[in-house]
Amino acid sequence: MALRIDTRQLRKTLEDKRRKVKASAFRGELETFAAKVLTTAMKITPVRSVSAIRTAQSKQYDHRINYIPSYHTLENPTLIVNEEGEHWLYLDDKWYAVSYRDLPPEAEAVLGDLENERSRRMGKPRAQFIEERAQARFLYRRVWFEVAKSIGVTVPVSANVQAAHSRHDPKKAPPKGYGQWRGGKTVLSISVYVPSLETPSRYKNFTGREILAKAISIHKAEFTRDVSKKLASLIKV
């Protein structure tokens, strides 16, 4: 006689139950994991300092009102107002010192159009110009909020992040972040795309992959425990 336990049948039963478990059964756990990861990614994504933006954009404002039409290229024609307040007109490969001499009639007409454009640009105060651009410092964080929305996950988001927008024409606006649910039978995953964080820029020294990897590492152990508990409940004999 003997007292014993034979686990062969138990193992077979457990293995049968395991095979019947679908990845979609863990959708809730993956959704919770995604919410925590995206919330953390949003928090740890750097933003530019307000003072740095204000300094840079104040300079941009000067360029905007003192170089008509563009600071970046010398167009024909161009109006430049230097630090002494002197107005210079570039027209047909010639420079005219507007502040000190009379201009030919054709140059006067061109100058009038450029001066009108300068007045239009100066109609927007410096403080307003800077503030409109300062809010964009939260755009890098906003992409994680966009990913969450696209996959139907709710995450806490600040008013600054939620309101952040590009000042550019929509065609030039940075691409939005987004995610996509995949699989469900043996594998269930969420693909995450944040193209604006992968594009090299002088304004950042990080990538979306780096931020996401760090956020995942913070919550991975908890997620693994949750999945193990769920699996144990599903194959309970």
pLDDT at 145 over 70: yes
Q: Quick one: pLDDT band at residue 168, thresholds 50, 70, 90?
A: low
If DSSP states are collapsed to H, E and C, what string results for the chain?
CCCCCCCHHHHHHHHHHHHHCCHHHHHHHHHHHHHHHHHHHHHHCCCCCHHHHHHHHHHHHHHHHHEECCCCCCCCCEEEECCCCCEEEEECCEEEECCCCCCCHHHHHHHHHHHHHHHHHHCCCHHHHHHHHHHHHHHHHHHHHHHHHHCCCCCCCCHHHHHCCCCCCHHHCCCCCEEEEEECCCCEEEEEECHHHHCCCCCCCCCHHHHHHHHHHHHHHHHHHHHHHHHHHHCCC
Share of the chain above pLDDT 90, in %: 61
**Using one digit for the tens of pLDDT, what is the confidence trace for 87-112?**
999 999 999 999 888 888 889 999 99
**Using one digit for the tens of pLDDT, what is the confidence trace for 30-82?**
999 999 999 999 999 998 878 888 888 899 999 999 999 999 999 999 999 99
Q: Considering the entire predicted model, what is its pTM?
A: 0.72
